Copies of this chain bind each other. A is one copy, B any other.
């Protein structure tokens, strides 16, 4: 637990439209907490006692099916909120959050939410925007899973990861946190075997450079070409 400098977080979408004093008010109620790499921040089903803003590091949100398979819901980047279950009326977390890297978060007790929202209405509208974009992204994912082949989906996933967490590196853009083939499989609805095969193929074509929990995009452009590959070039069957 530590004090947080308001100026460091003032630009985050969640705090848009807040004055310095208001921001101070808000931050006074938060604790700053550190989570070690691979530690759980909260578990699916646990009661949603806290909501978070990620300050540093990366967090994976995932859901587990009754039969034990995991699906990655999203990766959280610094500046984003997560664990806002109670804001949308859920008493329990709908997913598990794991720090994939050493991470630092701001944490508010969920019980403060109603009071904070009443005091700062912008909090509700800002959160609405955030949840709205996530809904959009998730719909995009559904559309991709419905219409595209595995290879294209993986390409899209990598490009998205690179955009949101890419670090420029000598020969391209590297995804800035440890990510396994298994993780990518769980993001795209396929198996680690298939992902491995696809990445191997791309690596031999020079599109990417792989490694243990590590991926570098060497030719993002050619990758996006691959991602948009058309399968049905003919006229779409319309509705009446």
Residues of B within 8 A of A134 (CB): 135
Q: Decide: A143 and B63 in contact? CB cutoff 8 A.
A: yes
A65 to B142 alpha-carbon distance, docked (Å): 11
Q: A138-B138, A146-B189 are in contact. Are A128 and B71 (CB under 8 A)?
A: no
Q: Decide: B240 and A132 in contact? CB cutoff 8 A.
A: no
Asked if A211 is at the interface of the complex by the 8 Å CB criterion, the answer is no
Choose from B118, B132, B138, B230 the contact partner of A142 (Cβ within 8 Å).
Answer: B138
The quantity of this chain's copies bound in the complex is 2
Interface 1/0 per residue, A51-66 and B, CB below 8 Å: 0000000000001111
Interface residues of A (CB under 8 A from B): 38, 63-71, 73, 87-90, 94-95, 98, 117-118, 121, 124-125, 127-129, 131-136, 138-139, 141-143, 145-147, 186, 189, 228, 230-233, 235-237, 239-240
26 contacts between A and B (CB under 8 A): A64-B236, A65-B147, A66-B228, A68-B232, A68-B236, A69-B147, A70-B236, A73-B139, A87-B132, A88-B128, A88-B131, A88-B133, A88-B135, A89-B129, A89-B133, A95-B139, A98-B239, A118-B121, A124-B125, A128-B128, A131-B131, A135-B135, A141-B142, A142-B145, A146-B189, A147-B189
